[in-house]
Amino acid sequence: MKNSNVRIIFHIDMNMFFCSVAVIKNPSLKGKAFAVGRENSMKGVVSTASYEARKYGIHSAMPLIEAYRLLPSLIVVNPQFEEYKKYHRLFKNLIMEYTKTIEVASIDEVYADMTEISEKRNPIEVAKEIQLRLVKELHLPCSIGIAPTLFLAKMASDIKKPLGITVLRIREIKDILYPLDVADIYGVGKKTAPRLVEVGIKTIGDFMNPDNEDKVRDVIGDRMLKSFKNALTGHSSNIVDPQRYEDSKSISTSQTYDQNLFDYDDILIELKNMAKRLHQDLKEQDYLTKTISITLRDSEFKTITRSKTIDYTDDLYEINDVIEDLLYDNFKEKEYRLIGVGYSNLMKSSDLALEYNLFTWKSILEKEDNINDIIKEFKNKYGDTFITKGVDLKDKKEE
């Protein structure tokens, strides 16, 4: 991996991140079967489960009632979004001691370009050091994939969990990846993998076999086939872009559930949890949102997205009110497999026009209310036509 034309990309994936943070906050959970979800309730779904709970078949997106059926003694703890954000920043800052070129993929995973430091140090030694420091200093276990592209680094980090380090060179792809299940291809969905298996595509080797191209194409289409084949042969992006999501004018999140949701209250709770997670990003990046949307996809794959535009805000209570209105107006008595929340028409709070900036908008509204009160008082006293709000004549069109 010393070839100057090859970039050395790390994919650093926190193992069981939400559960790890829960153990940090409550050490008595260590070694126990527990899940992050809706505490003291049979409603809702599992956000993530400890490895001990996974031994019983409990997994993310599983309805809590089913998880309790598999393990009546299951411990469930509430999510701690503020703590997740805190530890995300801590582990990101630790990695930035080795390189400034990092790209956040999600709250518990980052890509890091370690090409420069690898000119002086063995990248495997660097990976071991990062892994050890994360455990010792932050109590966060992780797996690390090392490869020449982002896609292959992601594939590599998934191979050994927990606390794995996997190097994946181009020449080793067939030996390392081809024996894996086709479902292990990053980006192949849970619904697509069984369809591939049905037509005889059981492994990545089967997927890459030229003799099977027609079978695979019939399932995923020609465009996706080409994209996956390029990625699996190392012909995909090797650019770690710290700014990739920095200037986004919209942010969103969604989740597909293994067990369809049908209860209105459960869906509302899930949507509000998503809204809260997005709200943290909104506040952290100093954004306001003007448009809030929800997405609902039913069991027949019919998808609707509904949105409402309001005044610029970063008030979670106001956002939740909009989400509740949108769900109330669009909820039908059916089963839903995917739901999501999005904020769009984002604007930096510092970029708002002066008359509507965070420091003056309340006082302007108060002045407006005072003017309206004065007009109302005069009208009551002297009649409706006595006084009205002024109109700038130069703005008035000629008739």
Which residue shows structure tokens 């899940």?
Answer: 35
For residue 210, what are the contacts with CB-CB under 8 A and spacing of at least 6? none
The C-alpha atoms of residue 255 and residue 295 are separated, in whole angstroms, by 10
**For residue 153, what is the enclosing H or E element?**
helix 150-157
Question: Whose CA is closest to 50, among 68, 76, 85?
Answer: 76
Residue of 52, 103, 109, 270 with catalytic role: 109
Beta carbons of 260 and 354 less than 8 angstroms apart: no
Cα dihedral across residues 168, 174, 175, 177: positive or negative: positive
Number of H helices, E strands in the chain: 14, 13
Strands 142-147 and 165-167: parallel
Number of C-alpha atoms within 13 angstroms, CB side, residue 227?
A: 10
Question: Whose CA is closest to 299, among 268, 252, 256?
Answer: 256
For residue 168, what are the contacts with CB-CB under 8 A and spacing of at least 6? 145, 146, 147, 152, 153, 155, 156, 176, 177
Upstream peptide bond of 162 is cis (omega within 30 degrees of 0): yes
Question: Is 109 among the catalytic positions?
Answer: yes
The DSSP code sequence of 185-240 is STT--TTHHHHHHHTT--BHHHHH-GGGHHHHHHHHHHHHHHHHHHHHTT-S----
Beta carbons of 288 and 346 less than 8 angstroms apart: yes
The C-alpha atoms of residue 153 and residue 111 are separated, in whole angstroms, by 8
Collapse the DSSP code of 35 into the 3-class scheme (helix H, G, I; strand E, B; otherwise coil) and give the result: strand
Per-residue exposure over 332-361, b if at least 16 CB sit within 10 Å of its own CB, e if not: eeeebbbbbbbbbebeebeebeeeeeeeeb
Token pair listed for 372:
């309206």
Catalytic annotation, residues? 109
